[in-house]
Structure 1
Amino acid sequence: MKHLFLSALLIASSAVSGQTKKDQDRAAILKMEGCYKVTFSFAETFSPNKDYEYHNDRKYEEAIEYVKVVENTENKVVLQHLLIVNDTMVIKHWRQDWLFENTALLTYDKKVGQVESWNNVTIPADKAKGTWTQKVFQVDDSPRYEGYGTWVHVDGRSFWESKADAPLPRREHTKRDDYNVTGRFSHIEIYKDGWVLDQDNDKIVREAGKKDVLIAQEKGIERFWSGNYNCKAAVEYWDKNQEFWKVVREVWTEKLAKGTVDIELFKNGNVIYMRFFELSSETAKAKKFDAKKVRSSIQTIIDEHVTIK
């Protein structure tokens, strides 16, 4: 209610200045583009189980990351993250799509064995009004989590918040099996010297027909610091590989559009992200980009790992 009231005040003041609320939202999202030093800080903070053994206490990492706007239309902004190692090695990192008043959401259910289950749901139009959905994707453009909320601009601040269920984070994906759902609360805020993704995460055990069980909570802060950093390698990488990853995005979007989706990221000794990285490298070496051939190869890989019910 408080955020709705503040947003109403801002809409009124924006009308006077000639800038709409939507214009302010888009400007905030676009400010996430840039070359950053990123600090990753994570720590488990609480467990309702007194015998719980805490993991990854005070985990901290630093990296250089380039965030590139790869699509920019009135109702959609796509930001691709590219991780840079030792100034020369580039790893295609996560991606975030921002959609205005979106009504189609892919929600995470749970992981059973090696299979992650997802459901396509519809957001009622009245609840979607004025909101932005953030769709987050893994390094291979498989789904990570999707949530929606309203951007708030007040007292010189611009921030957005949302809740969404997600699979285990990659840093724990292959190390832990004591929970199968991450209940994420995300706060994104834009600063003069960059931006922050502030997370309060619940680690949950979910079983069909049973009540969710919380085993621990975690605090995570990903801070993107503006500065004179070297992102040249990422710019060059994206120039060479953007056509390939555009097709990957398109095929995933088509595949995930309907029904219940089961994804097995690790199957028969194969891992989706490694298969895509290898295919991307082969494609970049070709004299000519063959979109039809690339699409067919990507479709084959995704079909082997994804089941639609």
Structure 2
Amino acid sequence: MTVEVTEVFEEHRPVLDGVAYRMLGRVADAEDVVQEAWLRWSAVDHAQVREPRAYLVRITTRLAIDRLRQAQSRREAYVGSWLPEPLVTDLAPAPAARQQDGAERVMLAESVSMAVLVVLESLSPLERAVFVLREAFGFPYAEIAETLERGEPAVRQLAGRARRHVAERKPRFEVDPELQRDLTERFLKAATEGDVQGLVSVLAPDVRMVSDSADGAKAPRRVILGADKVSRFLAAVAPEGAQDPAFGFRLLELNGGPAALVTYEGRPDTVFSLDVADGLVQAVYVNRNPGKLAHLEGAGE
């Protein structure tokens, strides 16, 4: 194995990681898919590969589709709501790119946001692959068609169907990061103190709260609707005493936006991810599934 072969793979790894995570919604599953792509890349005759990036994305996408098809049956039998695994992100532009406008950063943040990933769960594996490759990474239709072994007209139809589906369900986003962070801080303070009025002041009247839990971690199995119900529920389950040293609270960037991480005795316990628009929290995603939070230990410290 030459150093060049490894360097080529590492050069394209960020794109492969991005495709795999957006396809699967699980960090561990994405890592497994990219590792399998590496094994296949290391075994191929590289002299026959004219475009390494296209080849690697093609392998990764096909592996992700296969895994997603296997996972969908398990998710259909999942008790309660299924949420994607929170992803630690750092979307600050590189120094050389700081003069560019923020459009690219906003698009990247939206494509990996919890809200959009939840919508993508309702697409078929092929629709999801086309949407991710086209909308998040800008691949041409011809290349996507080759990746999926479909005709280009069929791929365009899949893209149109997926785009319409996402547009119908895609939430609005607040693009001001300072406002996002301010609302997240106010939400976390009110939630940990059991302050119903403080919560109502930051929640949209028709706010939704979606929870994901497993392995004994308690959370509502049904979506809670409305500022009054959401605020009262959160106030009722607030930790007994915000000063309890066993609990820790911190903000960090997850899925392209501010999120609140609650730890218990140093271990990740709960993640609150918020959709913010029109100066209010439109949706609250509560993840208490231990299997989806373990990788966050030490994050944001």
TM-score (norm 1): 0.23
TM-score (norm 2): 0.23
**Structure with the higher fraction of residues in strand conformation:** 1
